[in-house]
Amino acid sequence: MTVTVYVPKDSSALSLGAEAVARAIEREAATRGEAVRLVRNGSRGLYFLEPMVEVMVAGERYAYGPVDVTDVPGLFDAGFLKGGSHPLGHGRTEAIPYLARQQRLTFARVGITDPASVADYLLHGGYVGLKNALAMAPSDIVKTVTDSGLRGRGGAAFPTGIKWKTVLDQPVEQKYVCCNADEGDSGTFSDRMIMEGDPFALIEGMTIAGLAVGATMGYIYARAEYPHACRALATAIDAARNANFLGDNIQGTGRRFDIEVRLGAGAYICGEETSMLESLEGKRGEVRAKPPLPAIEGLFGKPTVVNNVISLATVPVILAKGGEYYRDFGVGRSRGTLPLQLTGNLKRGGLVELAFGCSLRELLYDYAGGSATGRPLKAIQVGGPLGAYLPESQFDTVVDYEALAAIGALLGHGGIVAFDDTVDMAHMARYAMEFCATESCGKCTPCRIGSTRGQDVIADIKAGHRRDENLTLLNELLDTMQYGSLCGLGGMTPYPVRSALKHFPADFGPQRA
Amino acid sequence: MTAFSAADVSLVERIAADLAHKPGPLLEVLHGVQHALGYVPADAVPVIARVLNLSRAEVHGVVTFYHHFRSTKPGRTIVQVCRAEACQSMNGAALEAHAKARLGVDYHGTTADGRYSLEPVYCLGNCALAPSVMIGDDIHGRVTPARFDALLEGEGA
């Protein structure tokens, strides 16, 4: 009997040798005369167990990991094709606590299905949302998304339904849906995991957005740094087109929607929505002044929905199960779930999707098991390179947009980078300025000049050179950047700098007694 | 540097003409040219400008805005080392220093034998398995200096 074996084709799994493991399993099976069907799934997000191989035994999946090529003959000897016990075995995948305790809505299929197969997507509840949407009036689709409480998962947390309504209300023939897949924040990979592990969820979400606002064309702005994700997207878009889920006559309804992937070129600023639109138009990625909002004048001057990958990939489950179903998860004004990315110096890094309301401490210790190096955690950066650094005393803060804002921090795209006690926070503050200088589009002065001056001033403070005057100067500079920049790059670089100064003053050189 | 030949001109013309019908095609064209030639030579700029009916300044401005587009010929393999926070938290700075010493070049440099170009990159999306490098199109996680050397040897360095 043919046994189905899963070896992820996710970039992170590949980065630890998943391709070689897949080849070794094929070879070993052929040598031993075992019939094996290899499925290249996405990752379950248990990155500390990658490459994680799964075997289907009597309708249940059993996990083994981390598997090295040299482990493969031993796995066969141990009868892993029948779920046999082995030191790398973890039993039923679904029962692994890290996974079992999660609330996966957006990531329900990631790591489970074959990301190249429409049939597999349909088998696991895919395209139920689109089927419902095809029978609804556009305004009802928008209302369902509004009712769900979904807020932009790229980081700005703007209510998705309100954005869609603005586009729907524009009396214009040509509109667009643009997916912002320019996931440049350090400490984030949830967009990549969707594109590599369940690209049809994104395609379905964009199609529903198109039906909702009256757009017939969608663009995905993807990263040059993500070649595997781009290939997975291209394969899935072709498959969706062949199965009539994209094109001129979706499922015979006469409705039209298609998607094109456009490749960015290594500019962090293009994750800012107006800069992304400029780039999609083939120009330098310089930010636009707002207003006009992209929802009114967006791509090529037309009304445009700009949403992040996670926002769009969450739309199918909302349309499948209803706005209330999604809204019933979460706390306060943060409704639904958030895929959190536990990264950096952590023992068990990976993706954890939970309803809003869990604490940072729970994520860092219960899930991630503390630092990888075994040293105490000194700081975490939440929300990407423009997010604040939090000390241990703030780890009880809960994952909730408003709770983070209340302590001068932000949730952003849900990435958490952990640092042990060897980190020099003055160095990280200076690095934040350096990153801003490297990635500034140059259009506005506070960001372009401020980021370079910021590096110098922090170096002077650290060196003890006219420390007090330079601290005053730095604070004034941070105000200028925060309130005078055209977009979030210059406007938010003060977050990591200010928080480092506030919580870790000892790292900024000797203070006068 | 090798001269820009008539064949190169027609190659660039063909790439640009094939994509000219798309809305806002310039980035697509530049990706196409870089894919074919390994970089976007200065001599390609006026050709692209002519086919797409843009000014040279517009094309030059776009080429130089994006980190990904190169104006000089790269080594046969591009080695990208991540400099972002998650990699720094796992001693990425030591890996960066090692990569520079091992290849004998600084960032944006190409080894004398023309084999490798070294580039910084800001996040490869592999942050749970830091530090990360990308060699060609292949991503590698949890890279120690020793593993970095082994990876290069695997490449035949």
> Do the beta carbons of residue A271 and residue A156 sit within 8 Å?
no
How far A304 CA lies from chain B's nearest CA (Å)?
15
**Residue corresponding to tokens 């241990």:** A392
| Per-residue model confidence as pLDDT tens digits over A307-328 | 999 999 999 999 999 999 999 9
Q: What is the pLDDT of residue A1?
A: 85
In the prediction, which pLDDT does A357 show? 98
Q: Which domains does chain A have, with CATH numbers?
A: 3-100 (3.40.30.10), 118-327 (3.40.50.11540), 330-420 (3.10.20.600), 425-507 (1.20.1440.230)
Nearest residue of chain B to residue A415 (CA atoms):
B127
Tens digits of residue pLDDT in A216-247: 999 999 999 999 999 999 999 999 999 999 99
Residue with tokens 């330079």: A470
What pLDDT, on the 0 to 100 scale, is given for residue B9? 97
pLDDT at B3 > cutoff 90? no
- Check CB contact of A474 with chain B, cutoff 8 Å: no
What are B99-150's pLDDT values in tens digits? 999 999 999 999 999 999 999 999 999 999 999 999 999 999 999 999 999 9
- Cβ–Cβ under 8 Å, residues A68 and A25: no
Provide the shortest C-alpha distance from residue B1 to chain A (in Å): 24
**B26 touching A (Cβ < 8 Å):** yes
Return the pLDDT at B154: 84
- Judged against a pLDDT cut of 60, whether residue B157 lies above it is answered with no
The SS3 of residue B24 is: coil
Cα(A366)–Cα(A373) distance, rounded to whole angstroms?
A: 16
Q: Which residue of A has its CA nearest to B27?
A: A282
Please give the domain boundaries of chain B with CATH numbers for all domains.
Answer: 6-65 (no CATH), 77-154 (3.40.30.10)
Q: Is the Cβ of A338 closer than 8 Å to some Cβ of chain B?
A: no
Q: What is the pLDDT of residues A380-390, one digit of tens each?
A: 999 999 999 99
Of A265, A381, A415, the CB nearest to B66: A265
CA separation for the pair A222, A229 (Å, rounded): 8
Is the ipTM beyond the 0.90 threshold? yes
Phi then psi for residue A219, to 5 deg, are -120, 140
C-alpha count within 13 angstroms, C-beta hemisphere, residue A397: 22
A282 near B CB under 8 A: yes
Q: Quick check: A266 and B30 CB within 8 A?
A: no
Q: Is B47 on the interface with A (CB under 8 A)?
A: no
- Alpha carbon distance A391, A361 (integer Å): 11
What is the rounded end-to-end Cα distance, in angstroms, of chain A? 77
| pLDDT value for B2 | 62
Residue type, A428: M
Chain B interface includes A11 (CB < 8 A): yes
The dihedral sign for the CA sequence A461, A466, A470, A472? positive
* Shortest CA gap B15–chain A (Å): 15
Kindly calculate the radius of gyration of chain B based on its CA atoms and give it in whole angstroms. 18
Query: How do beta strands A60-64 and A89-92 pair?
Result: antiparallel
Choose the mutation target among A12, A280, A440 for the interface with B, i.e. most B CBs under 10 Å: A12
Average pLDDT over residues B33-45: 97
Residue A414 φ then ψ, to 5° = 85, 20
User: E strand or H helix at A64, and its extent?
Assistant: strand A60-64
Residues B116/B120/B124/B129 CA torsion (nearest 10 deg): 90
CB-based burial label for B29 (10 Å; 0-12, 13-18, 19+): buried
Mutate which: B53, B95, B129, vs A, most A CBs within 10 A: B129
> Three-state SS for A229?
helix
Interface of A with B in 342-381 (CB under 8 A): 342-346, 349-351, 372, 381
Q: Which of A48, A189, A372 sits opposite B125 (nearest CB)?
A: A189
The percent of residues in chain B predicted with pLDDT above 90, rounded, is: 94
Calpha distance A465→A458 (Å, rounded): 10
Beta strands in B2-157 (DSSP E): 77-82, 116-121, 133-135, 138-140
Interface of A with B in 308-337 (CB under 8 A): none
Q: Where are the beta strands (DSSP E) in B58-99?
A: 77-82
How would you classify residue B23: left for phi > 0, otherwise alpha for psi between -120 and 50, otherwise beta? beta
In chain B, positions 85-114, which contact chain A (CB-CB < 8 Å)?
85-90
- Mean pLDDT in each 10-residue stretch from start to end of chain A (513 residues)? 96 98 98 98 98 98 98 98 98 98 98 98 98 98 98 96 98 97 97 98 98 98 97 98 98 98 96 97 96 97 98 98 98 98 98 98 98 98 98 98 97 98 98 97 97 98 95 98 97 98 94 60
Q: Please report where in the chains the tokens 């009880």 appear, as a residue.
A: A396
Sign of CA dihedral A370, A371, A372, A376: negative
Provide the number of CB pairs (under 8 Å) joining chain A to chain B: 153
Chain A hits for B87, Cβ within 8 Å: 186
DSSP string, A7-28: ----HHHHTTTHHHHHHHHHHH
Contacts of A197 (CB under 8 A, 6+ apart): A8, A10, A41, A42, A43, A107, A109, A110, A111, A113, A115
Q: Which residues of B touch A227 (CB under 8 A)?
A: 137
According to the model, what pLDDT value does residue A299 have?
A: 98
pLDDT of residue B113: 96
Choose the mutation target among B95, B127, B139, B143 for the interface with A, i.e. most A CBs under 10 Å: B127
Cβ neighbours of B88 in A, within 8 Å: 428, 431
Do A376 and A484 touch, CB atoms closer than 8 A? no
With an 8 Å Cβ cutoff, is B16 touching chain A? no
Buried b (16+ CB within 10 A) or exposed e, A397-430: bbbbbebbeeeebbbbbbbbbbbbeebbbbbbbb
For A57, phi and psi rounded to 5 degrees? -125, 120
Residue among A186, A345, A423 whose CB faces B123 most closely: A186
| Cβ-based contacts of A342 with chain B (< 8 Å) | 128
What chain B residue is nearest to A224 in terms of C-alpha separation? B68
The angle, 0 to 180 degrees and rounded to 10, between the axes of the packed helices A199-213 and A160-168 is 40
B90 chain-A contacts, CB cut-off 8 A: 344-345, 372
Query: A384 to chain B: nearest residue by CA?
Result: B85
